[in-house]
């Protein structure tokens, strides 16, 4: 990294700290749940006996444990009788903790002050294979990434700071900035590159894609390339570009759908007392009445963000699934709830789980401007904004210069970056504007919503994208057969979990509804309990790492 970039990183972090210096702080306990790991072992000689190639003489888990700042390693092993395998064929899976400074503004190599332990999940196939550095931008994902399958790459998933257990004990929100997050990813890249010397690529979808771009802006040489899926660049906490985009999206073919959806929203607001009686969960943060309105209003955005509108003849999805406005209130509520905007979105549990996102959005990332003008029964318009979702008592000032800087860097200085968007995704309204660099490319997948991926492209567009990635990684990725459907293509290369997400549900909604997964907890005695809750049929094997840490 150049000296100018290092100066900007320190300047950005220090400015963020100054803006929120008076913020309150609190604690976040790691979730509890599964049984602690028993009978800790030091594995020996297993690397050559298992899938996941290794070039070193020491077992892989030992070499992982010796990486800089790594403090805990635990392997996930599928039981032979498991109906659903969690570990992909040919891979080994590890849960890892790495120690990070809460504040990276110290001099290079200096670690003073508070630290926290950030959760990682590694899918290892070979030391020499490429590395896909991935993040959801939220809680930890432990699944395979399409780039991992297509390029037979190692996949290193990272939980974003301030989510779940990857949270400093002080919970100082002034440290929840894009610059601090980028420094987290830089520390991880530096640590793991001593083991993985192949080409590196960083990636993520939605907020994960945004996070990958921010990492690249501050540390452009950490990876060879970036693939950012459906990543917006918003200019304010009420970015006005989204409502006109949704109104124009799909042209006349979606006009009837838009009218029907508005009719449903207004009908539900008109029956608000009956509808609110159907709500589940606690709503102390917003109040039930306000939460109901917010959920109904957000259904407009959420519906188009995730629904598949390519097949109007399918009555179970897309615009064909919108009920008539005179349907029973239970049916109207069930439809709006199915968009993901009510239960599992505006209740206390969901707002608590995503308070870090809302704080980041109010501070730097920005947010879309909700379109409530056509909603005649909407009574609390002044409350509808990301500021309503930040932790109680927290005062946040939006810093527009953060996203302006990112946008300028992408347009003028970025190299080897691929941006993938969906034509029918509202977030495409805020797609990054590119400059003239020939290796910075934006592809819009026709008629795709927020799940636009390589494997939802047609074969010609996918070939264009993968040819770029081939060059960046120095290896040719596996091409799915051109005649197969997108879901079948996913299954062909082994991405069964992603195939299910593409066909049936959307991963962002699932993260909302199941935001927390037990992982590791370090107790007062220094002993690390493995609290990761694997799928049925998987188990954990723990390795003793150091006398200071104790047994796992």
Question: Could you tell me if 157 and 112 are in contact, meaning their C-beta atoms sit under 8 angstroms apart?
Answer: no
Residue 552 CA to residue 541 CA, distance in Å, equals 9
Question: Of 28-37, 88-97, 440-449, which range is least confident?
Answer: 28-37
Question: Could you tell me if 186 and 110 are in contact, meaning their C-beta atoms sit under 8 angstroms apart?
Answer: no
Burial of residue 392 (CB within 10 Å: 0-12, 13-18, 19+) is exposed
Question: Of 4-18, 203-217, 386-400, which range is least confident?
Answer: 4-18
Q: How confident is the model at residue 50 (pLDDT cuts 50, 70, 90)?
A: low
Sign for the pseudo-dihedral over CA of 321, 205, 159, 106: negative
Separation of first and last alpha carbons in the chain: 37
Residue 338: the pLDDT is 87
pLDDT at 200 exceeding the cut of 90: yes
Residue 459 CA to residue 480 CA, distance in Å, equals 8
Question: Could you tell me if 520 and 529 are in contact, meaning their C-beta atoms sit under 8 angstroms apart?
Answer: yes
Burial of residue 535 (CB within 10 Å: 0-12, 13-18, 19+) is middle
Residue 120 CA to residue 134 CA, distance in Å, equals 10
Element (H, E) at 293: helix 288-306
Burial of residue 494 (CB within 10 Å: 0-12, 13-18, 19+) is middle
Residue 53: the pLDDT is 57
Residue 513: the pLDDT is 37
Average pLDDT over residues 320-349: 92
Q: How confident is the model at residue 340 (pLDDT cuts 50, 70, 90)?
A: confident
pLDDT in tens, 482-500: 544 555 544 544 444 333 3
Distances (CA, A) of 152 to 53, 293, 450, 544: 12, 46, 25, 30
Q: Which residues contact 411 (CB under 8 A, 6 or more apart)?
A: 432, 433, 434, 435
Residue 515: the pLDDT is 40
Average pLDDT over residues 1-7: 34
Residue 77 CA to residue 93 CA, distance in Å, equals 7
Question: Of 30-44, 84-98, 180-194, which range is least confident?
Answer: 30-44
pLDDT at 475 exceeding the cut of 80: yes
Residue 545: the pLDDT is 33
Residue closest to 410 by CA, chosen among 551, 242, 220: 220
Residue 317: the pLDDT is 67
Residue 79: the pLDDT is 85
What ranges make up the beta strands (E) of 380-527? 417-422, 440-445, 520-522
Residue with tokens 């690397």: 47
Residue 253: the pLDDT is 87
Question: Could you tell me if 389 and 360 are in contact, meaning their C-beta atoms sit under 8 angstroms apart?
Answer: no
pLDDT in tens, 115-142: 999 999 999 999 999 999 999 999 998 8
User: How much of the chain exceeds pLDDT 70, in percent?
Assistant: 74
Residue extents of the structural domains in the chain: 3-228+451-542, 242-389
pLDDT at 470 exceeding the cut of 70: yes
pLDDT in tens, 509-523: 333 433 443 333 333
User: How much of the chain exceeds pLDDT 90, in percent?
Assistant: 64
Residue 487: the pLDDT is 53
Burial of residue 385 (CB within 10 Å: 0-12, 13-18, 19+) is middle
Question: Of 104-113, 176-185, 374-383, 488-497, which range is least confident?
Answer: 488-497
What angle do the packed helices 288-306 and 255-270 form, to 10 degrees? 170
Residue 186: the pLDDT is 98
Residue 77 CA to residue 550 CA, distance in Å, equals 22
Average pLDDT over residues 367-396: 90
Residue 118 token pair: 């950030």
Residue 403: the pLDDT is 98
Residue 114 token pair: 């508070």
pLDDT at 4 exceeding the cut of 70: no
DSSP 529: E
Distances (CA, A) of 125 to 12, 47, 196, 546: 37, 11, 11, 26
Residue 476: the pLDDT is 97
Q: Which residues contact 251 (CB under 8 A, 6 or more apart)?
A: none
Q: How confident is the model at residue 110 (pLDDT cuts 50, 70, 90)?
A: low
Q: How confident is the model at residue 464 (pLDDT cuts 50, 70, 90)?
A: very high
pLDDT at 271 exceeding the cut of 90: yes
Question: Could you tell me if 440 and 402 are in contact, meaning their C-beta atoms sit under 8 angstroms apart?
Answer: no
Residue 342: the pLDDT is 87
Burial of residue 511 (CB within 10 Å: 0-12, 13-18, 19+) is middle
What ranges make up the beta strands (E) of 429-493? 440-445
Query: 475 — alpha (psi -120 to 50), left (phi > 0) or beta?
Result: beta
């Amino acid at each position: 990294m150049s000296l100018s970039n290092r100066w900007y990183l320190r300047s950005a972090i220090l400015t963020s700290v100054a803006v929120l210096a008076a913020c309150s702080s609190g604690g976040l306990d790691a979730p509890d749940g599964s049984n602690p790991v028993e009978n800790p072992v030091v594995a020996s000689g297993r690397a050559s006996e298992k899938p996941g190639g290794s070039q070193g003489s020491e077992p892989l888990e030992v070499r992982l444990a010796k990486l800089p700042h790594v403090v805990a390693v635990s392997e996930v092993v599928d039981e032979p009788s498991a109906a659903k395998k969690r570990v992909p064929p040919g891979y080994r899976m590890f849960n890892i903790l790495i120690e990070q400074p809460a504040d990276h503004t110290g001099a290079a190599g200096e670690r003073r002050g508070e630290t926290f332990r950030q959760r990682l999940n590694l899918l290892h196939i070979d030391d020499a294979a490429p590395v896909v550095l991935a993040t959801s931008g939220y809680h930890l994902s432990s699944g395979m990434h399409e780039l991992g399958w297509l390029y037979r790459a190692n996949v290193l998933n990272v939980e974003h700071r301030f989510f779940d257990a990857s949270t400093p004990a002080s919970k100082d929100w002034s440290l929840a900035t894009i610059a601090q997050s980028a420094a987290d990813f830089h520390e991880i890249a530096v640590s793991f590159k001593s083991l993985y010397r192949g080409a590196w690529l960083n990636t993520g979808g939605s907020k994960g894609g945004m996070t990958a771009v921010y990492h690249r802006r501050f540390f452009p040489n950490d990876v060879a390339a970036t693939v950012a899926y459906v990543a917006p660049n918003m200019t304010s906490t009420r970015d006005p570009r989204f409502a006109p985009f949704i109104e124009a999206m799909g042209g006349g073919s979606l006009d009837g759908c838009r009218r029907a959806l508005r009719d449903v929203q207004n009908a539900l607001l008109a029956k608000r007392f009956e509808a609110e009686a159907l709500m589940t969960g606690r709503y102390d943060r917003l109040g039930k009445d306000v939460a109901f309105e917010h959920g109904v209003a957000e259904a407009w955005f959420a519906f188009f963000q995730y629904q598949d509108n390519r097949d109007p003849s399918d009555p179970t999805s897309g615009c064909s699934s919108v009920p008539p406005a005179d349907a029973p209130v239970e049916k109207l509520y069930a439809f709006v709830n199915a968009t993901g905007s009510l239960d599992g979105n505006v209740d206390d549990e969901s707002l608590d789980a995503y308070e870090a996102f809302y704080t980041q959005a109010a501070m730097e990332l920005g947010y879309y401007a909700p379109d409530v003008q056509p909603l005649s029964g909407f009574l609390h318009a002044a409350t509808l904004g990301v500021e309503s979702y930040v932790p109680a008592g927290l005062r946040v000032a939006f810093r527009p210069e953060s996203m302006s800087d990112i946008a300028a860097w992408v347009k003028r200085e970025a190299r080897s970056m691929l941006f993938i968007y969906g034509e029918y995704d509202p977030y495409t309204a805020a797609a990054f504007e590119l400059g003239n660099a020939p290796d910075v490319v934006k592809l819009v997948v026709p008629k795709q919503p927020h799940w636009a991926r390589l494997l939802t492209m047609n074969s010609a567009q996918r070939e264009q994208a993968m040819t770029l990635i081939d060059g960046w990684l120095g290896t040719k990725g596996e091409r799915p057969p051109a005649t197969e459907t997108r879901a079948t293509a996913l299954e062909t290369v082994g991405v069964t979990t992603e195939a299910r997400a593409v066909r049936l549900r959307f991963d962002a909604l699932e993260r909302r509804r199941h935001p927390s997964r037990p992982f590791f907890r370090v107790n007062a005695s220094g002993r690390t309990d493995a609290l990761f809750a694997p799928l049925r049929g998987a188990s954990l094997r723990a390795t003793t790492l150091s006398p200071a840490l104790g047994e796992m």
